[in-house]
Structure 1
Amino acid sequence: MTQRPELLAPAGSWEAFVAAVQNGADAVYLGGKMFNARHSANNFDNDELVRAVEYAHVRGVKVYVTVNILLANHELEEALRFLHFLHNIGVDAAILQDLGLARLAREVIPELSLHASTQMTLHNQAGVKLMQQAGFDRIVLAREMDLQEIAAIKRETGAELEAFIHGALCVCYSGQCLMSSMIGGRSGNRGKCAQPCRLQYQLVDDRGRSLADPHQVGEYLLSPRDINTSAHIPELIAAGIDSFKIEGRMKRPEYVATVIRTYRNLIDRALSEEPYRVEPEEAGDLAQIFNRDFSPGYFFGNPGKDLMSYKRPNNRGVRLGRVKGFNRQHKTVEILLEEPLRVGDGIEVWVSEGGRSGIEVNSILVNGKQVASAPAGTLVGLAIPGKIKPGDRVFKTHDADLMERARETYTSARETRKIPLHFLVRARVDEPMYMRVADEDGFVADGCSHEVGQEALKRPLTAGFLRDQLDRLGNTPFVLAGLKADIEGQVMFPMREINELRRQVLAQLEEKRLQAARPAGVAQQLMERRLRGALEQIKARPDRTGQQQLLAVNVTDLTSLQAAVSYGADIVYFGGESFRSKGMITERDIKAGAEFCQKNQAALVLSSPRVMHDNELKRFTSLLERTADLPLDGVLVGNLGLLQIIKDYTDKPVVGDFPLNVFNSATILYLQERGLSRVTLSPELTLKQIQEISQTAPVPLEVLVQGSIPLMNTRYCPVGSILGGLATGKKCAGPCSHQRCGLKDRKGLVFPIEVDQNCRMHLFNAKDLCVIEDVYTLLASGISVLRIEARKEDHAYVARAVNHYHKAIVRFQHGFRDEKKDREAREDLAELSAAGITKGHYFRGVV
């Protein structure tokens, strides 16, 4: 039997929540006022959460609450209390990103079901298994996965899987984007993304010269189309996806109503005996309610440029027609309609000069006469301002009929979603009326009237009269599906008595449905005891006797490795990740690097990509096996899948990389329990937060102090898509192998691009991180390792940077601070970055 997938709807407001339920959602995900990744949505306060859970559960719908951001130490206790509250009000699951919070939640509220957020970047079988072991009941997969990968994960892990099937698409792997955070101070990992991906960029070479005509290609080079899988529902079901997730907690309730209604029909059709199809009206509604153009995302492979909406980052609407000419008598623009149009619709003209001109239609002329609406094929006259020319395209961006139809589903007192009920009524003279009701989920309620039946003189009770009375359920979530009337003799009951009995029985049924969905609560006293014990574990102060202060450098070429070691680096990360602009790192390079490090008393730690789909993970573990005999000093791991299996392939130390998003002490404790010997902290932490965390860290800590921080890691590659011809069914010509590129923003800043061995883009910050003046403070706070990120840099950059930081560390080790030398070093390091330098989040946090 084919598994029936859950249809999971977004809700950023009460209206959107009701719209989701009434239009057929099986479950709704929403956020509270704190700790969720859609900070700008209205969201739900605690009273509204209680109300939402009760409203949903009566109607057989589940509620999942997003607690899917990274948490600072001081927030952990409050977040755990919030999870306790969610469990006790009957929330069906909480969606989490933070590894530390998940670890604590398993101790404090083990009764609460947890879902692993897409912000955890889960994209391989081993990562899914790791999160299953961590106590997650469902995995929300990365959006970059194709159906074959998903089917394999389902087959190999048996995990409950959730995937986004419609709506806006992040261009970056979720949980790995620092762009909004680093350039604007609004962190996506904290739910405050400013969407810099929807802004204008030009593809340029390393001298800042444009490589593609913006007028031809477009200027929105990081703006993806919306996902639309409506044509592929049977394939998604066959892949084993358990929950079909609609994106859109920032969207209007009309959007939620329309998209959920459409996918409800499509899923039901796919599970029926009839041939699967998407009706033209359904496709039209999905396009009309909101689209940036559509693509099926990555479900069928990497579509390259076909994934992107290069010329428009917002709603396109539906094509209405082209401008045919002008009517000078009526001073109107004439358009031959390809779609119906009515007064109240919104339209936009893509004019040849000056961008776009949009209006709300308040007057339509047909043959010189005012009309309220016009069908497709009609030549209409509209008063539209702007420099409009014949041939300009016209789009309908707002369909008043569609919006009104959607609005009716969540504003009317008469509910759209109905639970079928079967009534049994027994009526006798001199006996109370007995009423029993049963729903299709097996819940039963019954009761008796206060009054007894009287002998009827004129109009005895009939089955037809009872049906009419019991069918008056318009303002309830129920509908009459069947009635068995057991009436004996000429009996009558007052109408008010029948209606009151019906009301009492239905109220009892609602309460039974609610009670069945509500788990046994966790008592406050028990929760407090668990909470205190869990929090005490992360407050233990470690013994730091004999702790060294070391300098690490991350490089991607052998010459830079040699420069790093020669100028004083203690640790070099190298070998597992290559950039095409520098050529691929070979096993011979790794061997040479390891021997050079060993000869010069430095440690070589094998680096690894932060993203590794299953086939790539196998290639990396094969590399681990082939280099097992080399004098390597550990492995740098930023991928949860590799973290899960690393001990199967090496007994060398494992270092946690910054893509693991280590934002609090609980996450460090979790990673220590997984066998990590050192952990790199999130670059979104402030110096003050770093100082606090370092006081209780059970393992040595590492921080990034210098270099261009990677802002995005994407499966989409603008170089290959724009210059290499990568598209659906077309391979990339590989332009990245012979040139270095960047994205230039509206302010003229160039964000460098590198393409790795797996054809993923790494977008780096225009400004280099530089905290040379704060080395003394960082080391004094207990940080063990300072890292220079130089993967895209050459040996000259590495030599200068390592030289300055090595000297600063030596000064600390000798117990003195030289502000003049720090300042001079900063001035020299600033020359290495054309766009200037930044202290990142060290003094401006994201919390």
Structure 2
Amino acid sequence: MSASVETVPSFPFSALPSGLPLLLAPAGDWDCAKAAVENGADAIYFGLERFNARMRARNFTEADLPELMAWLHQRGVRGYVTFNTLVFPSELTEAEGYIRSIVAAGVDAAIVQDIGMVRLIRHLSPDFPVHASTQMTITSGIGAEFAEQLDCERVVLARECSLKEIGKIQAHLAEKGSRLSLEVFVHGALCVAYSGQCLTSESLGGRSANRGECAQACRMPYDLVVDGIRRDLGEKRYLLSPQDLAGLEVLPELVKLGIHCLKIEGRLKSPEYVANVTRVYRQALDAVAAGQPQRISRQDRYELEMSFSRGLYTGWLRGINNQELVHARFSKKRGVYLGQVLGIQQDQVVIRLEAPLKAGDGVVFDQGQPDLPEQGGRVYRIQQKQGRAFLSFGPGDIDLNRIHVGDYLWKTSDPELEKRLRHSFIGEQPRHQRPVCIEVHGQVGSPLTVILRDEQGHVVQVESPMPLVAAHHQPLTTEKLKEQLGRLGSTPFKLGSLHNFLTGEVMLPVSALNQMRREAVEQLQALRAQPLRWQLNLEAHWQQLVPPPQLGETGSPQWSVLVRDAKQLQAVLGYAREIPDSAIRQVYCEFEDPRRYREVIAQAKSQYPQVEIWVAPPRITKPGETWILKQVLAAEADGYLLRNYDHLEFFKGQRCIGDFSLNVANPITAHYLKTRYNLERLTASYDLNHEQLGSLLEMGPAHWYEVTIHQHMPMFHMEHCVFCAFLSEGTDYTNCGRPCEKHEVKLRDRANVEHILKADAGCRNTLYNGKAQTGAEYINKLLNLGLRYLRIEFLQESPAQIRQILWSYQQLLAGKLSGSQLWRELKLHSQLGVTRGSLEG
């Protein structure tokens, strides 16, 4: 039997032939990968040992990549590696080797956060696909263009984008003739803070979310302190913990918008979770393709809630509804709601069931205090009487004395469902099959030719070992060919279509047909398993992307000071005028209302011409929010502190400095941003400790950088408005009554620290650490490395506190006060509670 193989270039894929988005599932290990594949995922994403935002999860290793990618491609599934953390200067050599391994293994794409790493990937390989991670905080068409200019082929949009905003981003890209595709999260846990902009774990525990070490502080209880008084919210204590995202009901709209890929979140989730959620969304997408009305069945919702649920909601996809997003009652998995306890009778709990329950299921009793130990266990027996259920538990499993009438009951475990889900992916035989098209050609005297084509464009051809003969009875009909060639049950394939191009009535032994089918399938599987061959430049290295050596700037250090209201501005400018050697050369204004900038800045310039007044726009820009940037530009400031990719484009041609939110953590990122956008300097990422800052400065030029020495760390930056959610009955800024303008609000954590909440011009909230932090002890080291620009940020400090802090730092630079003395002195006298924070090694 002869065989020939033809390959049609098939990677990177375009959209599926059906026009449906790709379904992308999480996979931390082999079981999760199998669970995703066998339940219909078109692609999986996974991290390796380093540089991924799921460092506490199970991960594959670089050594796993060849086998994993071959298996995935045999099954018609793509594999994306998450390379979605910031990379520090000392890690660049390791990162380069890591990238080379990924490219050489034939991975389909890398999902990347760090701008410098996108640059490095493209430097090493001109054709390896890169996807801009949601950690890049892309919320607009301009932001998507920024990623495209980096040569990304796909953008994972911020989860805070609504369907309407996604549509505007698509329209913007279409107008520009862009080929960039969009990916959207459709299910799973929601981060309350913008991904890539959360500094909470870094601020509170020294573990950076931008380094894959999120401590999930958003899932902790907080007290709401309004104007200095704790507000009683009843059972609502988890003020920053959103419900989980469930986008099933908006799938038709996402398909209509032309979204290329739908992503399931799955941090630290089980294979059963992956199997279940993937299966439900696969079936729903197939229903959309078939034109069936989109309905979420009770069974689908039940199974999604059983897999993992803090409550299911469409998140921000349908727009902002602060009353619905965060119910605030709990932040852990609850499962399916069963009802409230009606009574305790002898050794039984009485309840009117609102969902199915059977013996062996696990339950938990919810008394509104989920941070305390709760009663729960497996149901031993259920008796139904007069519409009520009487639940019995094993001896000692439940302390009935701690169960009360009115307690909520949740179903947390369904062993029968878990067994069924596990059965969906265990074993070696493929369960999810992908269609192949078969063509059959031949005539009397020639061999029978069978051609197989898969969805990706791979083609194989086999010929029979003997010629076809005339059929006197039982010719090879289309039905008979389908019957024999379509027997693909133990393979990754199923018969999609068969085209019969035979001439005349011919015949061939069934055994030969079966052998041809097996040969074609083996050839097709081998072809699909071949690693993708991306280009890899062996002469390229990361050192070629860093700034060339330059002479450092000479002269004394200069201070920039950030203020948040007009009184603070006056206090800083007054200090600078009274003490000419204060080294204050710039003041940044970050006011909630940008309409105040013009008047305040004009007045300040007339009084204090020796100090430059700059303006900081809000950190996020959504479609339709250019009016805010226009108001900022109208202030006629001396310059602008840029926070996002829209700012880089909008303020082009003005004097500009890049702020910390651009996440400059290595010299490759710095070189790209500074030279491409002609920035005067860049603020170093807050993820860098003093040693990493030192490495960044040593790679130089040190005068490119500004380092924030004193600040209240901006921990959470959120679309979620706490003011609206808990101080009004409104859903968003249109009907909330603007409580942010009337009240001072803080969130008190379990350590009794009160963190300060502020709203910005876009009605987004920032929660600032209640304790200011200082890097005073490291200033001399950084200055010796060439640093010349230092920043102090104020939040709620009074004019007297501002003067004291500025004077202390002036004394520090003059050598009259040590860093440790400054830290102790401010803590003792100003009651600022200063900590060393992220600048600690």
User: For 1:388, which of 403, 410, 415 is the aligned residue?
Assistant: 403
1:86 matched to 2:90? The reply is no
* Cα distance, 1:680–1:442 mapped onto 2, change above 3 Å: closer
Amino acid at match of 1:585: R
User: For 2:330, which of 285, 307, 312 is the aligned residue?
Assistant: 312
Alignment-derived partner of residue 333 in structure 1: 349
How do 1:697-708 residues align onto structure 2 when only pairs under 5 Å count? 697-698=700-701, 699-708=703-712
1:603 matched to 2:612? The reply is yes
Contact 1:218–1:311 (Cα < 8 Å) also in 2: yes
Amino acid at match of 1:535: Q
Give aligned-pair identity as a percent: 33
Alignment-derived partner of residue 803 in structure 1: 807
Alignment-derived partner of residue 694 in structure 1: 697
Q: For 1:796-840, what per-residue CA distance to the aligned partner results, in whole angstroms no more than 9, with x for missing partners? A: 22211111222333x2xxxxx44x555543333224664622112
* Cα distance, 1:736–1:432 mapped onto 2, change above 3 Å: closer
1:275 matched to 2:293? The reply is yes
1:546 matched to 2:524? The reply is no
Q: In the aligned structure 2, how far is the partner of 1:536 from the partner of 1:367?
A: 74
Alignment-derived partner of residue 372 in structure 1: none
Q: CA deviation at 1:179?
A: 0.6
Amino acid at match of 1:36: N
User: For 1:655, which of 651, 657, 668 is the aligned residue?
Assistant: 657
Amino acid at match of 1:542: Q
CA RMSD of aligned residues (A): 3.3
Q: CA deviation at 1:716?
A: 1.1
Q: CA deviation at 1:220?
A: 0.9
Alignment-derived partner of residue 83 in structure 2: 67
Q: For 1:295-325, what per-residue CA distance to the aligned partner results, in whole angstroms no more than 9, with x for missing partners? A: 2111222211311131110112112234344
Contact 1:36–1:191 (Cα < 8 Å) also in 2: yes
Amino acid at match of 1:564: V
Deviates more, 1:18-27 or 1:234-243: 234-243
TM-score (norm 2): 0.88
Alignment-derived partner of residue 383 in structure 2: 366
Q: CA deviation at 1:656?
A: 0.8
Q: Secondary structure at the match of 2:494?
A: strand
Alignment-derived partner of residue 371 in structure 1: none
Alignment-derived partner of residue 7 in structure 2: none
How do 1:605-684 residues align onto structure 2 when only pairs under 5 Å count? 605-624=614-633, 626-628=634-636, 632-647=637-652, 651-673=653-675, 674-684=677-687
Alignment-derived partner of residue 58 in structure 1: 74
Contact 1:365–1:382 (Cα < 8 Å) also in 2: no
Q: Secondary structure at the match of 1:263?
A: helix
1:475 matched to 2:494? The reply is no
User: For 2:599, which of 584, 588, 596 is the aligned residue?
Assistant: 588
Contact 1:415–1:475 (Cα < 8 Å) also in 2: yes
How do 1:736-755 residues align onto structure 2 when only pairs under 5 Å count? 736-755=740-759
Contact 2:35–2:272 (Cα < 8 Å) also in 1: yes
Deviates more, 1:560-569 or 1:118-127: 560-569
Alignment-derived partner of residue 18 in structure 1: 34
* Cα distance, 1:135–1:492 mapped onto 2, change above 3 Å: closer
Q: In the aligned structure 1, how far is the partner of 2:445 from the partner of 2:148?
A: 62
Alignment-derived partner of residue 168 in structure 2: 152
Q: Secondary structure at the match of 1:86?
A: helix
How do 1:477-492 residues align onto structure 2 when only pairs under 5 Å count? 477-481=492-496
Q: CA deviation at 1:774?
A: 3.0
Amino acid at match of 1:506: V
Alignment-derived partner of residue 202 in structure 2: 181
Q: In the aligned structure 2, how far is the partner of 1:702 from the partner of 1:376?
A: 69
Amino acid at match of 2:31: E
Q: Secondary structure at the match of 2:155?
A: strand
1:843 matched to 2:840? The reply is yes
Q: CA deviation at 1:290?
A: 1.6
* Cα distance, 1:366–1:594 mapped onto 2, change above 3 Å: same
* Cα distance, 1:506–1:550 mapped onto 2, change above 3 Å: same
* Cα distance, 1:573–1:617 mapped onto 2, change above 3 Å: farther
Q: Secondary structure at the match of 1:131?
A: helix
Deviates more, 1:827-836 or 1:285-294: 827-836
Contact 1:305–1:718 (Cα < 8 Å) also in 2: no
Contact 2:128–2:535 (Cα < 8 Å) also in 1: no
Q: CA deviation at 1:756?
A: 2.1
1:573 matched to 2:587? The reply is yes
Amino acid at match of 1:211: R
Contact 1:25–1:61 (Cα < 8 Å) also in 2: yes
Alignment-derived partner of residue 150 in structure 2: 134
Q: For 1:745-769, what per-residue CA distance to the aligned partner results, in whole angstroms no more than 9, with x for missing partners? A: 1121111112223222111112211
Alignment-derived partner of residue 262 in structure 1: 280
Q: In the aligned structure 1, how far is the partner of 2:482 from the partner of 2:139?
A: 54
Q: CA deviation at 1:189?
A: 0.1
Amino acid at match of 1:239: L
User: For 2:247, which of 229, 252, 259 is the aligned residue?
Assistant: 229
Contact 2:351–2:388 (Cα < 8 Å) also in 1: no
Amino acid at match of 1:522: Q
Q: In the aligned structure 2, how far is the partner of 1:771 from the partner of 1:227?
A: 39
User: For 1:775, which of 769, 773, 779 is the aligned residue?
Assistant: 779
How do 1:92-107 residues align onto structure 2 when only pairs under 5 Å count? 92-107=108-123
Alignment-derived partner of residue 814 in structure 1: none
Q: In the aligned structure 2, how far is the partner of 1:716 from the partner of 1:261?
A: 30
Amino acid at match of 1:25: A
Contact 2:348–2:390 (Cα < 8 Å) also in 1: no
Alignment-derived partner of residue 53 in structure 2: 37
Q: In the aligned structure 1, how far is the partner of 2:194 from the partner of 2:507?
A: 72
Q: In the aligned structure 2, how far is the partner of 1:376 from the partner of 1:451?
A: 72
Q: For 1:599-639, what per-residue CA distance to the aligned partner results, in whole angstroms no more than 9, with x for missing partners? A: xx222222222222233333223431x334xxx43211111
How do 1:439-450 residues align onto structure 2 when only pairs under 5 Å count? 439=454, 441-447=456-462
Contact 1:434–1:446 (Cα < 8 Å) also in 2: yes
Alignment-derived partner of residue 161 in structure 1: 182
Q: For 1:472-494, what per-residue CA distance to the aligned partner results, in whole angstroms no more than 9, with x for missing partners? A: 5333201245676989899757x
Deviates more, 1:319-328 or 1:459-468: 459-468
Contact 1:180–1:196 (Cα < 8 Å) also in 2: yes
Q: Secondary structure at the match of 2:424?
A: helix
User: For 1:347, which of 345, 360, 363 is the aligned residue?
Assistant: 363
* Cα distance, 1:110–1:596 mapped onto 2, change above 3 Å: farther
Alignment-derived partner of residue 399 in structure 1: 414
Segments of structure 2 that go 5 or more residues without pairing to the other structure are 1-16, 175-179, 577-581
Contact 1:84–1:522 (Cα < 8 Å) also in 2: no
Q: In the aligned structure 1, how far is the partner of 2:741 from the partner of 2:805?
A: 26
Contact 2:188–2:245 (Cα < 8 Å) also in 1: yes
* Cα distance, 1:323–1:827 mapped onto 2, change above 3 Å: closer
Amino acid at match of 1:388: I
Q: For 1:9-63, what per-residue CA distance to the aligned partner results, in whole angstroms no more than 9, with x for missing partners? A: 1112211112212222222111122111111111111233223322222232222
Contact 2:275–2:424 (Cα < 8 Å) also in 1: yes
Amino acid at match of 2:301: A
Alignment-derived partner of residue 12 in structure 2: none
Contact 2:617–2:632 (Cα < 8 Å) also in 1: no
Amino acid at match of 1:837: V
Q: Secondary structure at the match of 2:763?
A: coil
Amino acid at match of 1:595: S
How do 1:198-213 residues align onto structure 2 when only pairs under 5 Å count? 198-205=219-226, 207=228, 209-213=229-233
Amino acid at match of 1:614: P
Contact 1:217–1:311 (Cα < 8 Å) also in 2: yes
Q: CA deviation at 1:570?
A: 2.0
Q: For 1:330-389, what per-residue CA distance to the aligned partner results, in whole angstroms no more than 9, with x for missing partners? A: x3334443333334321112248976322123x224379xxxxxx997655444512223
Q: CA deviation at 1:293?
A: 0.9
Q: Secondary structure at the match of 2:692?
A: helix
Q: In the aligned structure 2, how far is the partner of 1:831 from the partner of 1:275?
A: 66
User: For 1:562, which of 546, 560, 570 is the aligned residue?
Assistant: 570
Q: For 1:59-94, what per-residue CA distance to the aligned partner results, in whole angstroms no more than 9, with x for missing partners? A: 322222110000011222322332232223222211
Contact 2:128–2:534 (Cα < 8 Å) also in 1: no
Q: CA deviation at 1:741?
A: 1.6
Amino acid at match of 1:792: Q
Amino acid at match of 2:554: G
Q: In the aligned structure 1, how far is the partner of 2:545 from the partner of 2:506?
A: 74
TM-score (norm 1): 0.87
Deviates more, 1:162-171 or 1:401-410: 401-410
